[in-house]
A and B are shown apart, each in its own frame.
Chain A
Amino acid sequence: MLKIKNLKAKRDGKSILNGVNLEIEKGEIHALMGPNGSGKSTLAAAIMGHPDVEVDEKSIVTIDGQNLFEMGVDDRAKNGLFLAFQYPVEIPGVSFVEFLRLSYNSIQKHRQGDKFRELSPFKFKQYVEEKMKMLHMDTSFLDRNLNEGFSGGEKKKAEILQMAILEPKYAILDETDSGLDVSALKIVAEGAKILSEEYKIGILVITHYKRILEYLKPSHVHVLINGVIKKSGDYSLAEELDREGYKDV
């Protein structure tokens, strides 16, 4: 279980999260909605360990019982947390595949311990291509540098591909749907759905729009307002918010 308990956090000295509580079981899909400035992205950043977010000492987030706030960012990933970024950064000169391989090796080494054997570059590329097939993605960006010159759609597809390759236990998709056209949105959203079912990944999808939720069909929907979860419900809550907005929440 990914368990968020009384999460309070500041950014630039300002309180953004004021005690968020949330529990996500493996294989569940939860949606987190809310107006601009409600703290949705800060929640994602706090859980992953962004250096600009200052988490209150008493807050606890555990992943299958282990406290994430006692770990560095890389160790959170090794223990099964994944964040699909809203704005994936470009890293010039770094090959996408080489980065993926480094990342995969480092996470698998942690999971498998002494049993771990690195895949050869050739085998690894085959592994990546299988995943791309599974996600119905074309391989055009595979030979390029990490996010360098990627279109908005390619960046988001690359995030979902990374999720497929790393097979996390829990993933946060931070506005993965923003700026996508209909066909890219479909690939990205269906991809996340496939991965959740295939690997029992618990997903927290952060979004403004119902569009992506139509593909993901979350079992739980939460509304974040002023840094606290004001309302939770099932999928029908997303439909209700889509019709009526946040004013009555």
Chain B
Amino acid sequence: MSKKLSPQESKLKTQQTYKPGFSMPDSSKFDAGIGLNEDIIKQISKMKKEPKWMLNFRLKSYGIFLSKKMPDWGADLSGIDFESIHYYVKPSDQEERSWDDVPDSVRNTFDRLGVPQAEREYLSGVKAQYDSEVVYGSLIKEMEDKGVIFLGTDEALQKHPEYFEEYFGKVIPPADNKFAALNSAVWSGGSFVYVPKGVDVGKPLQAYFRINAAKMGQFERTLIIADEDSFCNYVEGCSAPVYTDHSLHSAVVEIIVKKNARFRYTTIQNWYQNVYNLVTKRAFAYQDATMEWVDGNLGSKVTMKYPSVYLMEEGARGEVLSLAFASNNQHQDTGAKMVHLAPNTSSNIISKSISKGNGRASYRGLVKVIKKAENVKSSIVCDALLLDSESRTDTYPYMKIDNKKVKIGHEASVSKVGAEQIFYLMSRGISESQATALIVNGFIEPIIKELPMEYALELNRLIELEMEGSVG
């Protein structure tokens, strides 16, 4: 949302002390064109002045990408044409489009949400640059004073290669899946965060990323290291619609949460309805560490995303709060993975999905407990809400439990927006669309309350907008 700056942010705005955190290292023109081959990958790497090992990593990943077959167990991906994709366009060279080219549906949503004009143009690709440094620069300065490193991934690789040599591609190796391999071959953009030992970042790292999310493009790569005893709540994305020509968004997010640290990663995404959103997210949580994913998916054509936590050492905790809204012609195939590799680890999955029109929301989850992992506790709750008779929901809960001393709980529910509920609310002067929105917002409230205020408000309003079209 961020349509109004808080007093604090306004103050930041006037200070203007900090130089860009996100910049591309080169100014030469470069467009890789359509399709992909080794030469293009070499060019990308050269352009970015990357170390040799990164080029080798990319090339090896490309080979893996070619050898892996398309996943056939989830959503229908047959609409993806790898030959017609631009794999790399330098952000500054991206063609600017006219405001008139932005679809009415997107523009109306901006209007109704009250997104500021500068931000609208940015989110819909009319403007290639958004001057976020001016607004948020001081916030980043404050982080730097605490020793927090907070950079674009390309820049971070130049400045802090040691972290990349140690961690990059270790949580999610290229061979994990076809799209992780593709990302590993052509990644560009994304963020790098390092939170030093014992540092509590305090306020959520959010405003900055709200606006940068759109810029990150299609193959962003995020690497986060939360050192021992640290605490950070990281928020990215944007509940306002992101309009893009790219039909494939395939990101990789790797997080290492060290001993006794706690990290929360909140994402809200609302892609335009042409986008295949295929994202691999995984965290390693070490001794007594806590990793929480809060993952909200609206929009897109197809989303496949299963944030996962590998519980590596005793006392580690993992949590996924997943929210999916599948509107007309959309398939949200989302869920979570919890892999218990050590005794006394625990995990908690809460999934809420809403299907509207002919939309389809699937929960797909895995809980795995290896033999030596005793006293594991895991709880899974999946609730689905159907808004129309043709809406669809499916649940695919997989469990591989190799230890007998475990406590696993699984609950699933499917409900429909009830006629009695609508009648009751309308008998109090509330319109049918408002009544539906109220019921839907109530349904997702357990997840909404975990979001920063402005995201929560914007999501609630988005749902009201969605409902206006759905009842007649």
Cross-chain contact A91 with B421 (CB below 8 angstroms): yes
Cross-chain contact B442 with A92 (CB below 8 angstroms): yes
- A52's nearest neighbour on chain B, judged by CB, is B419
Cα separation A208 to B418 with both chains bound (whole Å): 28
- Which chain A residues lie closer than 8 Å to B442 at the CB level? 91-94, 145-146
- B426's nearest neighbour on chain A, judged by CB, is A73
Cross-chain contact A166 with B439 (CB below 8 angstroms): no
A85 at interface, CB cutoff 8 A: yes
Q: A91-B439, A93-B444, A93-B446 are in contact. Are A103 and B429 (CB under 8 A)?
A: yes
Cross-chain contact B438 with A94 (CB below 8 angstroms): yes
B118 at interface, CB cutoff 8 A: no
Cα separation A50 to B426 with both chains bound (whole Å): 10
B432 at interface, CB cutoff 8 A: yes
Cross-chain contact A102 with B424 (CB below 8 angstroms): no
Contact mask for chain A residues 79-107; partner B; CB cutoff 8 A; 1 contact, 0 none = 00011010011011110000100110011
B22 at interface, CB cutoff 8 A: no
A231 at interface, CB cutoff 8 A: no
Main secondary structure of the interface of B (DSSP, over half): helix
Q: Specify which of B426, B444, B446 is in contact with A72 (CB 8 Å cutoff).
A: B426
Cross-chain contact A106 with B430 (CB below 8 angstroms): yes
Q: A93-B441, A93-B445 are in contact. Are A74 and B426 (CB under 8 A)?
A: yes
- B443's nearest neighbour on chain A, judged by CB, is A93
Question: How many chain B residues have a CB neighbour from A under 8 Å?
Answer: 23
Cross-chain contact A74 with B429 (CB below 8 angstroms): yes
Cross-chain contact B446 with A166 (CB below 8 angstroms): no
How extensive is the interface on chain A, given as a class? 20 to 34
Cα separation A86 to B403 with both chains bound (whole Å): 51
- Which chain A residues lie closer than 8 Å to B441 at the CB level? 93-94
- B431's nearest neighbour on chain A, judged by CB, is A74
Cross-chain contact A85 with B424 (CB below 8 angstroms): yes
Q: A91-B421, A94-B439 are in contact. Are A83 and B445 (CB under 8 A)?
A: no
Pick from A50, A51, A76, A91 the residue with the most CB of B within 10 Å: A91
Pick from A74, A77, A88, A162 the residue with the most CB of B within 10 Å: A74
State the Cβ distance, B293 to closest chain A Cβ, in Å.
21
Cross-chain contact A88 with B424 (CB below 8 angstroms): yes
- Which chain A residues lie closer than 8 Å to B418 at the CB level? 89
A136 at interface, CB cutoff 8 A: no
Q: A94-B438, A102-B438 are in contact. Are A89 and B421 (CB under 8 A)?
A: yes
Q: Using a CB-CB cutoff of 8 Å, which residues 380-431 of chain B contact chain A?
A: 418-421, 423-431
Cross-chain contact A103 with B423 (CB below 8 angstroms): no
Cross-chain contact A48 with B427 (CB below 8 angstroms): yes
Cα separation A76 to B426 with both chains bound (whole Å): 9
Cα separation A73 to B432 with both chains bound (whole Å): 9
Q: Using a CB-CB cutoff of 8 Å, which residues 131-173 of chain A contact chain B?
A: 145-146, 162, 166
Cα separation A200 to B438 with both chains bound (whole Å): 31
Pick from A51, A73, A89, A106 the residue with the most CB of B within 10 Å: A73
Q: A51-B419, A145-B442 are in contact. Are A91 and B424 (CB under 8 A)?
A: yes
- Which chain B residues lie closer than 8 Å to A103 at the CB level? 425, 428-430
Pick from B423, B441, B445 the residue with the most CB of A within 10 Å: B423
Contact mask for chain B residues 66-110; partner A; CB cutoff 8 A; 1 contact, 0 none = 000000000000000000000000000000000000000000000
Q: Specify which of A76, A89, A166 is in contact with B424 (CB 8 Å cutoff).
A: A89
Cα separation A52 to B444 with both chains bound (whole Å): 28
- Which chain A residues lie closer than 8 Å to B419 at the CB level? 51-52
Pick from B438, B445, B446 the residue with the most CB of A within 10 Å: B438
Cα separation A85 to B442 with both chains bound (whole Å): 21
- Which chain B residues lie closer than 8 Å to A40 at the CB level? none
Cα separation A93 to B424 with both chains bound (whole Å): 15
A230 at interface, CB cutoff 8 A: no
- A51's nearest neighbour on chain B, judged by CB, is B419
State the Cβ distance, B144 to closest chain A Cβ, in Å.
38
Q: Using a CB-CB cutoff of 8 Å, which residues 215-241 of chain A contact chain B?
A: none
Cross-chain contact B429 with A107 (CB below 8 angstroms): yes
A210 at interface, CB cutoff 8 A: no
- B449's nearest neighbour on chain A, judged by CB, is A93
A30 at interface, CB cutoff 8 A: no
Cross-chain contact A77 with B439 (CB below 8 angstroms): no
23 interchain pairs, CB-CB under 8 A: A49-B423, A49-B426, A49-B427, A51-B423, A72-B426, A74-B426, A74-B427, A74-B429, A74-B432, A77-B427, A77-B428, A85-B424, A88-B424, A89-B424, A91-B424, A91-B438, A93-B446, A94-B441, A102-B430, A103-B425, A106-B431, A145-B442, A166-B429
Give B contacts to A, CB under 8 Å: 418-421, 423-432, 434, 438-439, 441-446
Give A contacts to B, CB under 8 Å: 48-52, 72-74, 76-78, 82-83, 85, 88-89, 91-94, 99, 102-103, 106-107, 110, 145-146, 162, 166
Going nearest first, the 7 A-B pairs with the smallest beta carbon separation are A93-B442, A93-B445, A94-B442, A77-B429, A73-B426, A103-B428, A107-B429
| Supplied contacts A74-B427, A93-B446, 15 more A-B pairs, CB within 8 Å | A51-B423, A73-B423, A73-B427, A74-B431, A82-B427, A89-B420, A89-B421, A91-B442, A94-B439, A94-B441, A99-B425, A102-B434, A107-B429, A110-B429, A145-B442
